[in-house]
Amino acid sequence: MAAYYEILFGLSVLLTLIYIAIWHKHFDVHISLIFSFIPIANLAYAILAHSRNLDAALAATKFTYIGGCFLTLFITQSIFGLCHINLKRWMSALMTLLCLGSFSLVLSIGNSQVFYKTVSFDVYKGIGILRKTYGWGHTLTYVVISLFVIINAGALVYSLVKKKDVSNKTSILLMFPVTISFLSYFVGKLLPEGIDVMPLSYVFAQVIYLIIVHRLSLYDVTDLGVDTLVNKGDTGFMSFDFDDNYLGSNEMARKVFPMLNDINVDTYAGKYMQIKKTALKWLEDFKRDESKDRVYYEVDDKIYLITISYLYDGKHTVGYQFLITDDTDSRKYMKLISNYNDQLSAEVSEKTEHIVQMHNRLILGMATMVESRDNSTGGHIRRTSDIIRILIDEIRKDTSDKKNMLMLFGREGLTDEFCRNVIQAAPMHDLGKIAVDDAVLRKPGKFTPEEFEKMKAHAAEGARIVDSILEGTDNESFHTVARNVAHYHHERWDGSGYPEGLKGDDIPIEARIMAIADVYDALVSKRVYKDSFSFEDADKIMMDSFGKHFDKRLERYYVSAKPLLEEYYRKISDK
């Protein structure tokens, strides 16, 4: 009968070796843990069968519970992963603590009556038998295992009913090891003494998981697609870290850039002239302007399209990736029609530019007309537009703090289009004042609470006017920026602004930049109800406002722009 356990141990080892042979990096780590722990548990059953004294049997028994305590956890976590159900960290931590707690009770076997009240040892038909009576710890362990089974059943049913991105075959297959492992705890009581069905259920679970992982590679479209591109041999990859150190490449990339054959991994690539004049030069252009992410490279009568992007490790950027594809045929075709297209494009561009200029003049004219009603803000539109331009230029110069830029502008970064849109939208920020009554708008003194409420309405009204003006425009990105600038430029970082009391990153970035320009001009410009502040006093107020009124992360750009702003106001005051 001992051979039964030896065979099952051998099978579990064999199945684990098969898993190792077909292993792929996209396999869930918990599946790997299942295949690692099952041979350990089955070995413990074999050792228990060969035990000839109580101490050896107790030690082996403790190891058999590795399966009961931890395989249940790994199966649960693998089910959630395979069913694409997000398991919160605290949930995973709680389940782990439950299993550790159960196993700590197991470790008390032989030392207390918590798990087994009594234990004795006997040899029956050549097999070591541990006879025991159960304590409350054993009952608690059954409760924990039953809880995991219920959770697994719920996840699998949910997957079958709701998850369209999960194979129903996979969900059904996952039900078998869960069900059989659970039933084994009870069926084992009905079998002849010395025969335990649990190691058999573990081997069965390995077989099921091998079937599942064999199918996994077909479902993971991302990894499958990458592997297909690499193996096909007509797509090249090369990568560099943020310090321009070479990280690696495939065979095609080394054919296009032979110098890569001479570069050691993790070596500064700028030392090699071919790479410095090509890849690193393109990379510098991309760092300055991420819209420059495509380059055509001609060599040996071939034209390659080089696409530059960030290199990701999970959700974190760790460097830069170059994707190289042979675009020779496509470029030759494009060359045949380029002359005609260039001519047509020039004509269209000329007409489009004329329309854009008319559109911009119309917007500026409307904004100027609105400003002429407000006797307290003469020249405010022109000045804030110039301040915006200065601030944007300072932001664009910043290439040192990638994290700050990522937090402010997201993965797309500060694009040329965004910069143009903010500068173009700046004159529209106070359009809503056209709806404010003259008695309020032109009042020289301080507003009453009722008057201030009327004045605050200009922000939402401005957004409505912008929507009316730009309705149906092809440039949706400009429409969005202009609406946000008009609507939210009086919101404050700490949530105390108006009209909606937005807070922090809920305020669009374009409105946060506009707020700095709006307030700075209000401070250093003379109004009918106040004299202009000195640059020193205005700067103190501005600096105190970062983190309260303004986004603290924009402070560095205001500071770097301050000399240019002061120079600008001195020039216009001399005129």
Residue 519 lies in a domain: yes
Helix (H, G, I), strand (E, B) or coil at 412: coil
Q: Are residues 72 and 131 in the same domain?
A: yes
Largest CA distance in the chain: 110
Helix (H, G, I), strand (E, B) or coil at 120: strand
Which of the listed residues 223, 258, 281 is the one where a domain comes to its end? Answer: 223
Q: Are residues 418 and 486 in the same domain?
A: yes
Which of the listed residues 326, 361, 380 is the one where a domain comes to its end? Answer: 326
Whether this model's pTM surpasses 0.85: no
The residue type found at 458 is H
Q: Are residues 364 and 457 in the same domain?
A: yes
Contact yes or no for 239/248 (Cβ under 8 A)? yes
Q: What is the CATH number of the domain that holds 375?
A: 1.10.3210.10
Q: Please state the domain count of the chain.
A: 3
Residue 550 lies in a domain: yes
Q: What is the CATH number of the domain that holds 321?
A: 3.30.450.20
- pLDDT attached to residue 557: 93
Residue 335 lies in a domain: no
Please enumerate in sequence order all residues whose Cβ is within 8 A of that of 131, keeping only pairs 6 or more positions apart, or say none: 119, 120, 121, 122
Q: What is the CATH number of the domain that holds 141?
A: 1.20.1070
Residue 228 lies in a domain: no
Written as six digits, the tokens of 275 are: 């790479």
- pLDDT attached to residue 407: 86
Dihedral over Cα of 532, 535, 538, 540: its sign: negative
Cα–Cα distance for residue pair 433/489, rounded to 1 Å: 13
- Name the residue among 555, 489, 496 with its Cα closest to residue 522: 489
Q: Are residues 353 and 304 in the same domain?
A: no
Residue 223 CB neighbour total at 10 angstroms: 14
- pLDDT attached to residue 224: 47
pLDDT (tens digit, 9 = 90+) per residue, 384-420? 889 999 999 998 888 777 888 888 888 778 888 999 8
pLDDT (tens digit, 9 = 90+) per residue, 181-190? 767 766 665 6
Q: Are residues 24 and 125 in the same domain?
A: yes
Contact yes or no for 135/117 (Cβ under 8 A)? yes
Structural domain of 312: 233-326
Q: Are residues 407 and 292 in the same domain?
A: no
Cα–Cα distance for residue pair 247/273, rounded to 1 Å: 17
Helix (H, G, I), strand (E, B) or coil at 569: helix
Q: Are residues 394 and 429 in the same domain?
A: yes
Q: Are residues 483 and 450 in the same domain?
A: yes
Residues counted in the chain: 575
Residue 156 lies in a domain: yes
Is the N-terminal amide bond of 499 cis, ω within 30° of 0? yes
- Name the residue among 37, 35, 49 with its Cα closest to residue 7: 49
The tens-digit pLDDT sequence of the chain (575 residues) is: 678 888 999 999 999 999 988 887 667 888 889 899 999 988 998 998 889 898 888 898 888 888 778 888 888 888 888 887 888 889 889 999 998 998 899 888 888 899 889 988 888 778 888 888 889 988 888 888 888 888 888 888 888 887 776 777 777 777 777 777 767 766 665 666 667 888 888 898 889 888 888 766 555 544 544 555 555 556 888 889 988 998 888 888 888 888 888 888 888 888 888 888 899 999 999 998 988 899 888 888 888 889 999 988 766 788 899 998 888 777 666 666 665 666 666 666 565 555 555 556 656 666 666 655 554 445 788 888 899 999 999 988 887 778 888 888 887 788 889 998 999 888 888 888 877 777 777 677 777 888 888 888 888 988 898 888 888 777 888 899 999 999 999 999 999 999 999 999 999 999 999 999 999 998 998 776 678 899 999 999 999 999 999 999 999 999 999 999 999 988 887 65
Residue 331 lies in a domain: no
- pLDDT attached to residue 195: 77
- Name the residue among 267, 268, 236 with its Cα closest to residue 252: 236
> Angle at CA 108, nearest 5°, toward 102 and 114?
80
Residue 390 lies in a domain: yes
Cα–Cα distance for residue pair 432/426, rounded to 1 Å: 13
Cα–Cα distance for residue pair 352/75, rounded to 1 Å: 61
Residue 554 lies in a domain: yes
Q: Are residues 151 and 186 in the same domain?
A: yes
Q: Are residues 241 and 295 in the same domain?
A: yes
pLDDT (tens digit, 9 = 90+) per residue, 87-119? 888 988 999 999 899 889 988 888 889 988 998
Q: For residue 553, which phi and psi values (nearest 5 degrees)?
A: -70, -15
Q: For residue 413, which phi and psi values (nearest 5 degrees)?
A: 75, -170
Please enumerate in sequence order all residues whose Cβ is within 8 A of that of 270, keeping only pairs 6 or more positions apart, or say none: 244, 276, 280
Written as six digits, the tokens of 435 are: 């709806």
Q: Are residues 167 and 309 in the same domain?
A: no
Q: Are residues 556 and 517 in the same domain?
A: yes
